[in-house]
Amino acid sequence: MHVSELETPSILVDLDLMEANILRLQSYLSQHGIANRPHIKTHKIPAIAHLQINAGAVGITCQKLGEAEVMAEAGIKDIFLPYNIIGAAKLERLMNLARRRVRMSVTADSEIVVRGLSSAARGAGLMLPVLVECDTGAKRCGVQSPEAAAALARLIARSPGLHFGGFMTYPNSEQLDPFMQAAKRMLAEHGLTVECVSGGGTPQMWQAHTHRELTEHRAGMYLYGDRYTLRSSAMSLAGCSFKVRATVVSRPTPDRAILDAGSKTLSSDVLGLEGHGLITEYPEARIYSLSEEHGHVDLSECASQPEIGEEVTIIPNHCCVVTNLANEVVGVRRGEVEVIWPVAARGRVQ
């Protein structure tokens, strides 16, 4: 089936481009001796996770237990969950994953989380690797200083059922090396070594080797690309494998077109960008607002204009959240549909 026969809106992945993106980052990280642990939040599709593993990734990263369960069910054997797992129900699910011959590892940024993990792992008779999440400038989760990182690492190391697995941060920043070096020095005084420093981010991926302390990198968007990634110059428009196909359903005025893709397809993520997507056939067009099932396009700067019924191709602002809205993604090679993947881990936020 040719892509032109697909109904719209649909989410297309150019398989040649995606495979090239997977190989390119793997090759770069391997060359620099940095382990590659891609973040599957971007695609949420087990078959793509296997492609990443087969290309040389040491394992995958998931953000939620529900994603990890889907990936473990599909045969992925090494899953890092950089999240504070809290509460009896979630701890039991984590232990169930670790019991099924999946190498599960997690993060913690507080004593409360460490104590919960230790209690659960000890009860299950398991040894769970736990990394300390460090805030190196993102101001999200994470301990706030090398001193706090070292103290939590020591608590993990002496907690029954837990193994101190290293440090985790996101994204890679200039503070990464000084933070990790200071924390490592403090731990060395107590005879503790740091086996892994895990960083991440697609915009920063080609600078991974400049962080001396980094041993592992987690990137998500690198295999698809989007307007956010393009702005960072980490990827080129020609390399973007991820596109939304939409139809012009109305031309109410000479300067306005309405698309059949709104915020329930493209998401409302702005990420500091102007507008809601790039229409590749009409780059001067501006998707200036979205309602739920309509994309509002300003054509006033366009030399030529699309007609009612015409299909267009959109590079969205943020591929991760677009995937998470879709029930399926269409894999395309040279214009022909090769595979239709259910987005298996979509909406698995628990």
Question: Token pair of 51, please?
Answer: 């492609």
* Helix axes 88-99 and 111-124, enclosed angle (nearest 10): 50
Instruction: Please report how close the Cβ of residue 247 comes to a second copy at its closest, in angstroms.
Output: 6
Select 15 or 141, whichever has its Cβ closest to a second copy: 141
Instruction: Please report how close the Cβ of residue 21 comes to a second copy at its closest, in angstroms.
Output: 20
278 touching a second copy, by CB under 8 A: no
Size, binding site for a second copy by CB under 8 A: 60
Query: For a second copy, what does the binding mask look like between residues 151 and 190, x meaning CB under 8 A?
Result: ----------------------------------------
Half-sphere exposure of 199 (CA within 13 A, CB side): 29
Strand 277-279 to 311-316 pairing: antiparallel
State the virtual CA torsion across 137, 66, 316, 253 in degrees, nearest 10: -120
Instruction: Please report how close the Cβ of residue 209 comes to a second copy at its closest, in angstroms.
Output: 26
Residues 310-329 that bind a second copy (CB under 8 A): 320-321, 324-327
State CA 138 to chain mean position distance.
16
**How far is the C-alpha of 329 from the C-alpha of 10, rounded, in Å?**
7
Question: Token pair of 202, please?
Answer: 């697609």
Contact 132, 104 (CB under 8 A): no
Smallest CA-to-CA distance from 147 within 115, 187, 174 is with 187
Smallest CA-to-CA distance from 105 within 78, 67, 124 is with 78
262's CB contacts (< 8 A; 6+ apart) are 290, 291, 292, 293, 294, 295
Select 55 or 199, whichever has its Cβ closest to a second copy: 199
Strand 294-298 to 286-291 pairing: antiparallel
Select 59 or 142, whichever has its Cβ closest to a second copy: 142
Instruction: Please report how close the Cβ of residue 296 comes to a second copy at its closest, in angstroms.
Output: 7
Query: For a second copy, what does the binding mask look like between residues 225 and 264, x meaning CB under 8 A?
Result: ----------------------x-xxxxx--x-x-xx-xx
Query: For a second copy, what does the binding mask look like between residues 74 and 103, x meaning CB under 8 A?
Result: ---------xx-xx-xx-------------
Instruction: Please report how close the Cβ of residue 56 comes to a second copy at its closest, in angstroms.
Output: 26
347 touching a second copy, by CB under 8 A: yes
Instruction: Please report how close the Cβ of residue 311 comes to a second copy at its closest, in angstroms.
Output: 9
Locus of tokens 């590749």: 280
Instruction: Please report how close the Cβ of residue 347 comes to a second copy at its closest, in angstroms.
Output: 4
Residues that bind a second copy in the complex, under the rule CB under 8 A:
5, 7-10, 41, 63-64, 83-84, 86-87, 89-90, 109-110, 112-113, 135, 139-144, 247, 249-253, 256, 258, 260-261, 263-265, 267-270, 291-294, 296, 308-309, 320-321, 324-327, 346-350
